Amino acid sequence: MAAPMLRWCYLGRRWVLACIDGGSRHGRGAAIGFTSSRKRGQSSVAQQPLITAQKSRKGEHKWAAVVGLEIHAQISSNSKLFSGSQVHFAAPPNSLVSFFDASLPGTLPVLNRRCVEAAVMTGLALSCRINKKSLFDRKHYFYADLPAGYQITQQRLPIAVNGSLAYSVCAGKKPSQVITKTVRIKQIQLEQDSGKSLHDELRSQTLIDLNRAGVGLLEVVLEPDMSCGEEAATAVRELQLILQALGTSQANMAEGQLRVDANISVHHPGEPLGVRTEVKNLNSARFLAKAIDSEIERQIHELENGREILNETRSFDYKLGCTMPMRDKEGKQDYRFMPEPNLPPLLLYDTASLPPGADPQQVINIDWIRERLPELPSETREKLVQQYGMLPEHSFALLNEVGLLEFFQNVIKETRAEPKKVTSWVLNIFLGFLKQQNLAVNESPVTPAALAELLSLLDRKAISSSAAKQVFEELWRSKGKTPSQIVSEKRLELMQDEEALERVCHAVMEEHPQVVMDVKRGNSRAINKLIGLVLKATLSRADPTVIKEILEKKLSS
Amino acid sequence: MLGRTLREVSAALKQGQITPTELYQKCLSLIKKTKFLNAYITVSEDVALKQAEDSEKRYKKGHSLGDLDGIPIAVKDNFSTSGIETTCASNMLKGYVPPYNATVVQKLLDQGAILMGKTNLDEFAMGSGSTDGVFGPVKNPWSYSKQYREKRKQKPHGEKEDSNWLITGGSSGGSAAAVAAFTCFAALGSDTGGSTRNPAAHCGVVGFKPSYGLVSRHGLIPLVNSMDVPGILTRCVDDAALVLGVLAGHDPKDSTTVQDPVKPFTLPTLTDVSKLCIGIPKEYLAPELSSEVRSFWSKAANLFESEGAKVIEVSLPHTSYSIVCYHVLCTSEVASNMARFDGLEYGHRCDIDVSTEAMYAATRREGFNDVVRGRILSGNFFLLKENYENYFIKAQKVRRLIANDFVNVFNSGVDVLLTPTTLSDAVPYLEFIKEDNRTRSAQDDIFTQAVNMAGLPAVSVPVALSNQGLPIGLQFIGRAFRDQQLLTIAKWFEKQVQFPVIQLQELMDDCSSVFEIEKLGSVSLKQ
């Protein structure tokens, strides 16, 4: 079995980080691992997939896995790629279907400008070369949810080519040991989505919903530069963040706005690549890495047992945790590609090539879009590290959860507390509560303003940090109260009366002569026990540093 | 009144000599009397009556919408018409009622035109005879003309009179017959390889194919998207120009239409042709060309020359590859375009429900005739990965060469090309069906189809009657988007030749009063 040698990049670790890592609630902002780069420029050579294999148990063969991805991202647009129908998730079946979407004879495609701009934006963000001329093609196959019998796509000359996507993975035992890797992007093409088939096995019929038919997709083709499930999952996650930052796709996997197919093969390093399989419909963040790794294991297992890998299409059975051949994809498909005759070539311009007097409504200027690109996740993370002295992995964590960065920034704006403190509270306590209750950031009962006030109280030592945690719990439970209200109601403010505190310290020392002896004998840890006891006696209302000072003074006297 | 041109009847409507409903009634009654021609698949009697009444109200208020208001027209049954069955003469679309109008139909209706009905064709416009539709063949009105009958009497044949009727040509034969038999004043056809010009020539009417991109294809059920153009059939060139003025222009629903605005226009009357250069492509002197057509062709050239025009022989060297190239491109697009007819969303669906695949197969077998299925089969063969390069790509390259031939000729100073439209006059149905559809289409399209490859405007103008008393048409081919110039020259030519009016009195003696056939004009090109 090959499992051991792949384990280093296996699922487990990122769940260890779960308290500050994005979890997956209905796939929302689903985490597929975060890692960061300690050093810039420490990236792997993209063209040579990292060899992930270690010695197998027998210590004879090494295996390397090669993974390429085809990612379909639904374009976030009001209307479909070639028709005026609205785009909405979960609308009543067949309520968003134009004559063109239903392929009524005589209807013609009309290209949606917004979709083209989204493709150009995405291409630019992924450092692609934007083709100033691209073409549309028809890809033919019969399927009930493909009304025209063909899909309009960009097979010959896509809108963007030759880009790259940088992502970071854990490289060692500590989560902070990360390296940046790069996967080449072969192309980005515009194409139509299909409708949905709902198979009713009971009545042996298929129901068709064409709401999705004709929605614009960006197909992003990632070269086989990845070598395991986690790399693939992390690359997909980074792409997801980029699409969301650009606003070109909501990229929500649970709503099918981001769908992944993986091409997987294994071989011995130095030898030609093995026969590849395609694992289709990896539409859940949770199973993406798992499916790829289980397929890699399966292939190695097959080969080590003298069997062959078939060039076939498989799907991941999440219940069994392994991939299975797809029955209806048997046999080779010939898509009979043909140029789409109803759409002229798609021409784009830059400022230099813009025809004089061109109607801005009729032309798309690549430079204009480039100048207006929003900040990308990598830049945002870099800024966080620079501005707040944050650890890189914390910057990843902040971006990994939808809305968390904004929450963090709003807290920072309103509090006097140190950014480090804020980071720690947001990533540990706040996110921990969210995870525990399976809530999204925007569903949190605690507002940024409340947390900011709480941290300010903490910062000016009005409350102890353990009291702060109590206040936070109370904030979470009872909406509408301010931290100050809670502090005064629960009498959680720090004891400002030093004499009273001295009396408590004295009493504690009296009651625990053994501990006092330990301190005096040089057991430096014992003082912590005393501090704890004093804290307990003050119901956490005293500042541990002040307690320590008093105790030290008394002990040394 | 029915024998008049569109412009003439439009003037009569404006002057109140006739009302739109009267005109509608006359056309409707003639449609019913000529039902045996099989020119119409659907007669939209009720809708048309409503349109005529609305038009009448407008005239009464003095708010006429223009030259087309109250004019009865017909539309080939491969244009979508909202609320009116649109069949493409195929079982596949029997009973299919589109929810929208083709842009060209909408434009005509917006001008107040009265849609009398949907005309017959070859199934999905695949043919050159209008014989291969599911509703049966269209009969050429000239089969029943005095001119043809008289000539036939001279020759003892012994065959039954009625079994010898002639084809209209196609695939827009229904539209050509409808115009020729006076049941409407203009009709829409479609033209992919000659489907408007060919039947126009056989039926003695004007058949105009505009430049590709000048007129919207939205709502035209496609045969070959990259070559299809809505065609116009009328009784004279001026009428075609009038209809073109209404139809031409950018359509946001068809991305292949030109962006430049097109203004309505009237054709000038050309008096001097001495500055024109007329090209005669030598490759069009095909061995199959009948001597009669050939003779009219050279007479026409002589006519131009005698009036001072420069007439030169030109070469379109890649013409001979046109047919085979067209075959590959046409069938490939057909295979693709027909993929949507799967019985799921609309149209025919078989009773088999074992599986989706079985349903597709049976639906398509039942829905399409042999011609359509044959083209789908060959098209899919050409598009296979292993064949694509050898067939489709090569055909596209040849298409480019063919288009360049025209460019070169026009760049050398030629204004229009003058060619035959068809090899001969119309043949009897029984003769026609001796050959299969493919052979026929290949033969009949040879003069018309290269034009579609190049996207150029072309018009067939009736010239004279053959020895048999049947119409013969000649074709003018113009530069891309110089449709007006082309029609201006065609109009001059039309005036010179004075093509005779079809005489259908014998056939419809009881309704002869509806014809106000003017005196036969002199036929200046008489043999």
What local confidence, expressed as pLDDT, does residue A502 receive? 86
Residue corresponding to tokens 């299925």: B373
**pLDDT surpasses 60 at A46:** no
**Position A170 confidence tier, pLDDT thresholds 50, 70, 90:** confident
What local confidence, expressed as pLDDT, does residue B515 receive? 45
Question: How high is the mean pLDDT of chain B?
Answer: 93
Residue bearing the bigger pLDDT, A329 or B146: B146
What local confidence, expressed as pLDDT, does residue A172 receive? 63
Q: Is the CB of residue B218 less than 8 Å from the CB of residue B182?
A: no
For residue A148, what is the nearest residue in chain B, using CA coordinates? Answer: B340
pLDDT by residue (tens digit) across B26-48? 999 999 999 999 999 999 999 99
- Reference B23, options B33, B39, B10, B41; nearest CA is B10
Cα–Cα distance for residue pair A438/A436, rounded to 1 Å: 6
**pLDDT surpasses 80 at A23:** no
What local confidence, expressed as pLDDT, does residue A498 receive? 80
Residues in Cβ contact with A509 at an 8 Å cutoff, skipping those fewer than 6 apart: A516, A530, A551, A554, A555
Question: Any idea which residues of B carry the catalytic annotation?
Answer: 76, 171, 195
Cβ contacts (< 8 Å) between B383 and chain A: which residues? 140, 336-338
What local confidence, expressed as pLDDT, does residue A461 receive? 82
Across the beta sheet with B206-209, the strand order is: B40-43, B114-119, B72-76, B186-191, B229-234, B206-209, B458-465, B471-477, B416-420, B277-281, B310-314
What local confidence, expressed as pLDDT, does residue A201 receive? 86
Cα–Cα distance for residue pair A530/A547, rounded to 1 Å: 9
What local confidence, expressed as pLDDT, does residue A501 receive? 85
Taking an 8 Å cut-off on Cβ atoms, the answer to whether B345 and A338 are in contact is no
**pLDDT surpasses 90 at B67:** yes
CA-based nearest distance A245→chain B, Å: 32
**Position B439 confidence tier, pLDDT thresholds 50, 70, 90:** confident
* DSSP label of A202: T
Q: Report the CATH fold assignment for A498-556.
A: Arc Repressor Mutant, subunit A (1.10.10)
What local confidence, expressed as pLDDT, does residue A523 receive? 81
What local confidence, expressed as pLDDT, does residue A428 receive? 92
pLDDT by residue (tens digit) across B446-467? 999 999 999 999 999 999 999 9
* DSSP label of B390: I
Percent of chain A at pLDDT > 70 equals 87
CATH of B4-153+165-276+447-508, one of 3.30.950.10, 3.50.50.60, 3.90.1300.10, 3.30.70.3000: 3.90.1300.10
Q: Residue type for A187, please?
A: Q
**Position B160 confidence tier, pLDDT thresholds 50, 70, 90:** low
Q: Which of A110, A208, A341 lies at the smallest CB-CB distance from B225?
A: A341
For residue B79, what is the nearest residue in chain A, using CA coordinates? Answer: A106
**pLDDT surpasses 50 at A124:** yes
Taking an 8 Å cut-off on Cβ atoms, the answer to whether B333 and A341 are in contact is yes
Domains of chain A, by residue range, sit at: 64-339, 377-490, 498-556
pLDDT by residue (tens digit) across A418-456? 999 999 999 999 999 999 999 999 999 999 999 999 999
Q: What is the greatest pairwise CA distance in chain B? A: 72
Across the beta sheet with A322-325, the strand order is: A129-130, A160-170, A178-192, A216-226, A64-74, A258-267, A277-282, A313-317, A322-325
**Position A543 confidence tier, pLDDT thresholds 50, 70, 90:** confident
Question: How high is the mean pLDDT of chain A?
Answer: 85
Taking an 8 Å cut-off on Cβ atoms, the answer to whether B340 and A105 are in contact is yes
CA distances (Å), A477 to each of A213, A347, B247, in order? Answer: 45, 57, 70
Most A CBs within 10 Å, among B383, B388, B400, to test the A interface: B383
- Supply the ipTM of this predicted assembly: 0.94
- Reference B326, options B419, B148, B445, B426; nearest CA is B445
Tokens (6 digits) for B425: 């006059």
**Position A212 confidence tier, pLDDT thresholds 50, 70, 90:** very high
Taking an 8 Å cut-off on Cβ atoms, the answer to whether B384 and A334 are in contact is yes
Q: Which of A104, A206, A342 lies at the smallest CB-CB distance from B356?
A: A206
What local confidence, expressed as pLDDT, does residue B277 receive? 98
Cα–Cα distance for residue pair A360/A496, rounded to 1 Å: 68
Cα–Cα distance for residue pair A20/A396, rounded to 1 Å: 10
Taking an 8 Å cut-off on Cβ atoms, the answer to whether A99 and B100 are in contact is yes
**Position A60 confidence tier, pLDDT thresholds 50, 70, 90:** low
Taking an 8 Å cut-off on Cβ atoms, the answer to whether A102 and B346 are in contact is yes
Average pLDDT over residues A317-340: 85
Query: Is the preceding omega at residue B171 within 30 degrees of 0, hence cis?
Result: yes
Q: Residue type for A451, please?
A: L
What local confidence, expressed as pLDDT, does residue A491 receive? 79
Percent of chain B at pLDDT > 90 equals 87
Cα–Cα distance for residue pair A537/A504, rounded to 1 Å: 7
Cβ contacts (< 8 Å) between A140 and chain B: which residues? 335-336, 339, 383
For residue B396, what is the nearest residue in chain A, using CA coordinates? Answer: A339
Average pLDDT over residues B382-405: 97
**Position A548 confidence tier, pLDDT thresholds 50, 70, 90:** confident
What local confidence, expressed as pLDDT, does residue B508 receive? 62
Q: What are phi and psi of B207, to 5 degrees?
A: -125, 115
What local confidence, expressed as pLDDT, does residue A169 receive? 82
Domains of chain B, by residue range, sit at: 4-153+165-276+447-508
pLDDT by residue (tens digit) across B274-326? 999 999 999 999 999 999 999 999 999 999 999 999 999 999 999 999 999 99
- Reference A84, options A106, A102, A100; nearest CA is A100
pLDDT by residue (tens digit) across A246-283? 999 999 998 999 999 999 999 999 999 999 999 998 88
**pLDDT surpasses 80 at A331:** no
CA distances (Å), A115 to each of A110, A118, A122, A216, A242, in order? Answer: 11, 5, 11, 7, 16
What local confidence, expressed as pLDDT, does residue A444 receive? 92
Cβ contacts (< 8 Å) between A148 and chain B: which residues? 339-340
